[in-house]
Amino acid sequence: MSTYIMTDIHGHYDDIREMFGKIGYSAGDRLICADDYIDRGSQSYEMLQWMEHPGGNVILVRGNHDEEFACYADLMTVISQKAGLEMDRVEDALTAYQALRQVSSYFDCYGTVGSLIQKKKVTLGQLAQWAAYIRKMPYFYEIMKYI
């Protein structure tokens, strides 16, 4: 059994899959992914889907980009509830997103949430579900004497 550690994947899903092949990663190995699964790369959607069911031998550690994403989803949910928007309508997700972008240009500064809504037709409900997965991730993982 080998242990592998990867960090800062940043929306590069195909690259992580390619890396699995290069290292000969198998079900008997352990993978520790230490933070920042989304933003910057073009495959944040695929990374978020993978994070839902990464496998029993994968440990996901939360990073600042992941935490920001969860906060964005929380803010959009609050806006949606106050405005009477639906969690399962893409149009309502876009309305909440645009309202928050008007308040702050820093909101979703990498454009990940906007891209998920506009290109992948992700709803507020899906964003909230991903935020819940992120909230379950620890901030650190200790292996032997290393953190």
What pLDDT is recorded for position 144?
Answer: 74
- Residue 7 tokens read as 């960090």
pLDDT tens for each residue of the chain, 147 residues long: 899 999 999 999 999 999 999 988 988 999 999 999 999 999 999 999 999 999 889 999 999 999 999 999 999 999 999 999 999 999 999 999 999 999 998 999 999 999 999 999 999 999 999 999 999 999 999 887 665
Report phi then psi at 34, rounded to 5. -105, 80
What pLDDT is recorded for position 146?
Answer: 63
- Residue 32 tokens read as 């520790």
CA distance 3 to 13: 20
**SS3 labels along the chain:** CCEEEEECCCCCHHHHHHHHHHHCCCCCCEEEEECCCCCCCCCHHHHHHHHHCCCCCEEEECCHHHHHHHHHHHHHHHHHHHHCCCCCCHHHHHHHHHHHHHHCCCCCCCCHHHHHHHHHCCCHHHHHHHHHHHHHCCCCCCECCEC
**99 near 79, Cβ under 8 Å?**
yes
What pLDDT is recorded for position 137?
Answer: 96
Q: Where are the domains of the chain?
A: 3-64, 65-134
